[in-house]
């Protein structure tokens, strides 16, 4: 049996689905297709903006733009470049946008655990009976100074409870956050099913800001989970695989 789960590459299509939902839009940081006008309006409102490929994966080609007293600081991976004017910044970004489409997204300052930034992956899968289940929730802990927390960017995977404990959350607050994230994942699963049939798995990338508010950075329709195999406790990996087999995914 071949892999049978709908996949949508465009981050903008998926973001628009979230924004059209009254219950979901509060979780979405402002996101706009890249243009000179949208870059200008976003930088007028926010001190940090992310420039992301509409169809990218693995945290590659994500650029962070930070407004400085004099000009702008652009960071790609660990490389930083300063631009003294808006025009110079726009021309540089537009070179990339001519090759492929990009989005701009309000920057969320990630919560930290023991001094390192992290975000959260919420994995949901749909059973043969049509019910969405939250089969795994884990964290991606980044390297300070890197733009993305992804495994491919040198980040490491960790358990949600340990990460939140390291971020100063109490046991009660951790349980509350776990429940909120599980509910959020299943709600997104149900919403996406109303848009296009055939989704069986989704991986939400969720940021917590320093007030503990959850933000959906993006929804992956072909989420990678093989790095979970490298964790000492393989229960999450085994649980995902047990559901994935029903729609033909083996790894």
Q: What is the mean pLDDT of each run of 10 residues along the chain (251 residues)?
A: 83 97 97 98 97 81 93 92 97 95 96 93 96 97 75 78 97 98 98 96 96 96 90 93 92 82
Longest Cα separation, the chain: 58
pTM above 0.75, yes or no: yes
pLDDT for position 153: 59
Which among 42, 77, 75 has a CA at the least distance from the CA of 59?
77
Q: What is the CATH number of domain 11-28+110-247?
A: 3.30.470.20
Smallest Cα–Cα separation from 122: which of 186, 210, 34, 35?
186
The domain ranges of the chain are 11-28+110-247, 31-106
Question: Which CATH fold topology does 31-106 show?
Answer: Dna Ligase; domain 1 (3.30.1490)
Predicted local distance difference test score (pLDDT) of residue 83 = 97
What's residue 150's pLDDT? Answer: 58
Q: What is the pLDDT of residue 238?
A: 95
Apex 216 CA angle, 39 and 166, nearest 5: 115
Q: How far is CA 81 from CA 84, 92, 242, in A?
A: 10, 11, 46
Please give the Cα distance from 247 to 12 (Å, whole number).
Answer: 26
Cβ count within 10 A of residue 220: 19
Q: Is 184 left (phi over 0), alpha (psi -120 to 50) or beta?
A: alpha
Q: What is the pLDDT of residue 241?
A: 95
């Amino acid at each position: 049996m071949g892999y049978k789960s709908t996949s949508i590459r465009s981050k903008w299509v998926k973001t628009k689905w979230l924004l059209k939902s009254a219950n979901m839009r509060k979780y979405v940081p402002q996101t706009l297709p890249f243009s000179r006008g949208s870059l200008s309006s976003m930088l007028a409102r926010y001190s940090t903006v992310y420039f992301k490929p509409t169809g990218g994966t693995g945290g590659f080609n994500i650029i962070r733009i930070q407004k400085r007293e004099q000009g702008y600081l652009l960071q790609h991976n660990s490389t930083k470049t300063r631009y003294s004017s808006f025009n110079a910044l726009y021309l540089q970004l537009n070179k990339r946008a001519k090759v492929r489409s990009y989005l701009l997204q309000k920057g969320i300052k990630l919560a930290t655990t023991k001094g390192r930034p992290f975000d959260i992956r919420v994995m949901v899968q749909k059973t043969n009976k049509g019910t969405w289940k939250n089969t795994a929730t884990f964290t991606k802990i980044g390297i300070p100074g890197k733009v993305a927390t992804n495994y491919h960017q040198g980040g490491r995977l960790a358990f949600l409870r340990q990460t939140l404990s390291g971020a100063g959350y109490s046991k009660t607050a951790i349980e509350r956050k776990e429940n909120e994230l599980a509910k959020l994942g299943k709600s997104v699963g149900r919403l996406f099913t109303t848009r296009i049939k055939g989704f069986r798995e989704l991986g939400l990338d969720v940021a917590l800001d320093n007030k503990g508010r959850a933000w959906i950075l993006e929804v992956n329709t072909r989420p990678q989970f093989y790095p979970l195999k490298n964790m000492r406790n393989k229960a999450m990996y085994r649980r995902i695989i047990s559901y994935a087999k029903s729609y033909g995914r083996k790894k």
